[in-house]
């Protein structure tokens, strides 16, 4: 029942791009332009400025965006109420997940949930914890799976699985023959770390601070957002890194990298499920959060 023109318009405003918005809903850019033009003709105002490849809303566009978001939220709630009325669990479910959670923690969850709720179409966005919180706030996703402490998130959050961050080295690295290393020893080698500003990087920066090592004095050789890329760079000998046990399991099993223990310390954190409300709006989101809360996660090793 929702006006697809409003949904398209909101996507364009949020992504600041016709092409990104078009890709998100599998339409052509010309189709997106036609939808916006239809709105502009109906309202008699210009809604968007185009500056090169970037798109920004006009004052009229900003006003429409605020009302459109509220309308789309009401449409979604109405759909959820109708599903509840007839006991139906179906439709799209937008989920945000960090790279580690999406690649290593959730595939079996998605498989089990999809098998039980075949009418639900999972729409998974892989992004940073910060972006997931932003998307929850702006209504672009209903559920987020992130790393961190549940009490640190501005919405309802519950821990769903444990995690441990471990130092990893290539099998021919000077530290490879050691079972453990001090924080100082690790910091003295070239490091491959998560991107600055990410939740994982802040976690590691805090770890170094607590050990008396200012993060700016750590020898960062490279930063990357992909756990798989970091593992490959460690294997190539560029440096050492710190990653979730969930993400290094396969490489450790294959013998291409080795795990070290940190002398006198253990880097532990949680994976959390986050939603704006304790009881999500749609039946699909409620079914998913209940499924995840009841799922038994086991640390790889």
pLDDT recorded at residue 199: 84
pLDDT at 139: 83
CA torsion sign for 205, 211, 217, 223 is negative
pLDDT digits (tens, 9 = 90+) for 63-76: 999 999 888 888 87
Task: State yes or no: pLDDT of 284 exceeds 80.
Answer: yes
Which long-range contacts does 294-299 make (Cβ < 8 Å, 24+ apart)?
295/109, 295/112, 295/160, 297/105, 297/160, 297/161, 297/162, 297/271, 299/161, 299/162, 299/163, 299/164, 299/245, 299/246
Report the candidate in 113, 111, 83 with the shortest Cα–Cα distance to residue 288: 113
Q: Give the tens place of pLDDT for each residue, 126-159.
A: 998 889 998 998 888 999 999 988 888 888 999 9
- Which residue do the tokens 């990653």 mark? 243
Q: What SS3 class is residue 220?
A: strand
What number is the average pLDDT over the span 203-221? Answer: 92
CA distance 266 to 17: 43
Q: Write down the residue that tokens 């704006």 correspond to.
A: 276
Domain extent listing, the chain: 1-88, 91-301
- In the predicted model, is pLDDT for residue 285 greater than 60? yes
List pLDDT tens digits, range 82-96. 877 777 788 889 999
Instruction: Give the per-residue pLDDT at 82.
Output: 80
Tokens encoding 38: 């239809």
Structurally, what CATH architecture does the domain formed by 1-88 represent?
Orthogonal Bundle (1.10)
Domains 1-88 and 91-301 share a fold: no
Dig out the tokens for 190 from the structure: 């070239």
**Which tops the pLDDT comparison, 35 or 88?**
35
Q: What is the pTM of this model?
A: 0.75
The whole-angstrom distance between residue 184's C-alpha and the CA centroid of its chain comes to 31
Mean pLDDT estimate for the chain: 90
What's the pLDDT tens digit per position in 226-282?
999 999 999 999 999 999 999 999 999 998 999 999 998 889 999 999 998 877 778
Q: How far apart are CA 149 and CA 129, in angstroms?
A: 12
Residue position matching structure tokens 């809360």 = 293
The pLDDT > 90 percentage for the chain reads 60
Structure tokens at 255: 């013998």
**Would you say residue 62 has pLDDT above 70?**
yes
CA 208 to chain centre: 24
Please give the pLDDT value at position 290.
94
- Whether residue 162 contacts residue 266, with contact meaning beta carbons closer than 8 Å, is answered with no
Residue 29 has a pLDDT of 87
The Cα 245–Cα 36 span in angstroms is 46
**pLDDT for the residue numbered 2:** 55
Measured between alpha carbons, how far is residue 4 from residues 19, 71, 115, 215, 285 in Å?
17, 12, 29, 47, 22
**At 300, is the pLDDT very low, low, confident or very high (cuts 50, 70, 90)?**
confident
* CATH class label, 91-301: alpha beta
């Amino acid at each position: 029942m929702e006006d697809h023109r409003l949904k398209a318009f909101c996507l364009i405003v949020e992504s600041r791009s016709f092409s990104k918005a078009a890709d998100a809903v599998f339409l052509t850019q010309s189709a997106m332009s036609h939808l916006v033009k239809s709105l502009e003709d109906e309202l008699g105002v210009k809604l968007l400025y185009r500056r090169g490849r970037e798109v920004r809303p006009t004052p009229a566009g900003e006003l429409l965006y605020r009302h459109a978001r509220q309308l789309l939220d009401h449409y979604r709630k109405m759909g959820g109420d109708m599903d509840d009325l007839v006991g139906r669990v179906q439709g799209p479910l937008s989920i945000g997940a960090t790279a580690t959670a999406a690649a290593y923690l959730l595939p079996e969850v998605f498989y089990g949930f999809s098998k039980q709720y075949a009418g639900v179409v999972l729409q998974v966005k892989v992004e940073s914890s910060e972006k997931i919180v932003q998307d929850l706030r702006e209504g672009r996703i209903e559920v987020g799976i992130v790393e961190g402490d549940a009490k640190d998130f501005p919405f309802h959050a519950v821990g769903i699985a444990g995690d441990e961050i471990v130092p990893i080295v290539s099998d021919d690295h000077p530290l490879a023959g050691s079972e453990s290393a001090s924080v100082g020893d690790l910091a003295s080698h070239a490091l491959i770390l998560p991107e600055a500003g990410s939740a994982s990087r802040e976690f590691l920066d805090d770890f170094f601070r607590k050990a008396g090592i200012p993060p700016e004095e750590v020898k960062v050789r490279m930063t990357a957002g992909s756990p798989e890329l970091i593992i490959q760079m460690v294997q190539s000998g560029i440096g050492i890194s710190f990653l979730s046990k969930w993400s290094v399991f396969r490489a450790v099993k294959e013998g291409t990298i080795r795990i070290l223990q940190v002398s006198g310390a253990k880097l532990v954190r949680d994976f959390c499920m986050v939603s704006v409300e304790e009881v999500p709006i749609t039946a699909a989101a409620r079914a998913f959060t209940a499924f995840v809360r009841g799922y038994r996660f086991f640390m790889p090793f």
